[in-house]
Amino acid sequence: MRPELSKAHLGEEDRDLEYEKKVQLQPHSVYLALSSHLKVGVTRKNQIPTRWIDQGAHQAIAILEVPNRYLAGVAEVSLKDYFSDKTNWRKMLQKNHEEVPWDQAIKKAIEALPKDLKPCITNNSQLTEMQFPVLKYPEKVKSLNLEKEISYTGLLKGIKGQYLIFDDQTVFNVRSNEGLVVSIS
């Protein structure tokens, strides 16, 4: 969760050093994404654009590529003074976002990076735009909780990020219900 605390690059174990090395000691990207608003994020390089889609980002761009998770975390912390690192999931599902002056945002991000990370700036990265199969966005989001509601009936109107959107403005977070057996018909 907090990549700036990663110690795999030092050979120090948090829980399982072999697993941590496998996941954390590979190229990571620091990016800006527009989901509910402009935010900063970190992901393994091979997870682009999957991570952006999962977050429901409309647009995103990688600004930095570093060799490990720790350095990505250092960069992210330096950018948190200017950009949030959280997505407002309700706002993201309502497709209620502002336009972003990308040139200005990228310039601000690059200026805010620590000097020793500036050589890792990705100059060839392009803005990626994502489209989601949504026929109708909810105006007021109502979350479906399967631990409280055993059964639900609705007409699927879209998929955005990790959410199923239904006709009555109910949304179902697939990721938060991992491990449950669900039947959809």
Whether this prediction's pTM lies above 0.75 is answered by yes
Q: What pLDDT is stored for residue 133 in this prediction?
A: 96
Pairwise CA distance, residues 157 & 136, whole Å: 6
Nearest Cα neighbor of 41 from 70, 80, 10 is: 80
* Size of the chain in residues: 185
The DSSP symbol for 151 reads -
User: Could you count the other beta carbons within 10 Å of the beta carbon of residue 140?
Assistant: 7
Residue type, 54: D
Hey, what are 44's tokens? 């393994």
Q: What pLDDT is stored for residue 143 in this prediction?
A: 95
User: Could you count the other beta carbons within 10 Å of the beta carbon of residue 148?
Assistant: 7
Q: What pLDDT is stored for residue 56 in this prediction?
A: 94
| Cα 55 to the center of its chain, rounded Å | 4
Q: What pLDDT is stored for residue 134 in this prediction?
A: 96
Q: What pLDDT is stored for residue 101 in this prediction?
A: 95
pLDDT tens across the length of the chain (185 residues) = 677 756 666 666 666 667 666 777 789 999 999 999 999 999 999 999 999 999 999 999 999 999 998 899 999 999 999 999 998 999 999 977 788 999 999 999 999 999 999 999 998 889 999 999 999 999 999 999 888 888 899 999 999 999 999 999 999 999 888 888 888 88
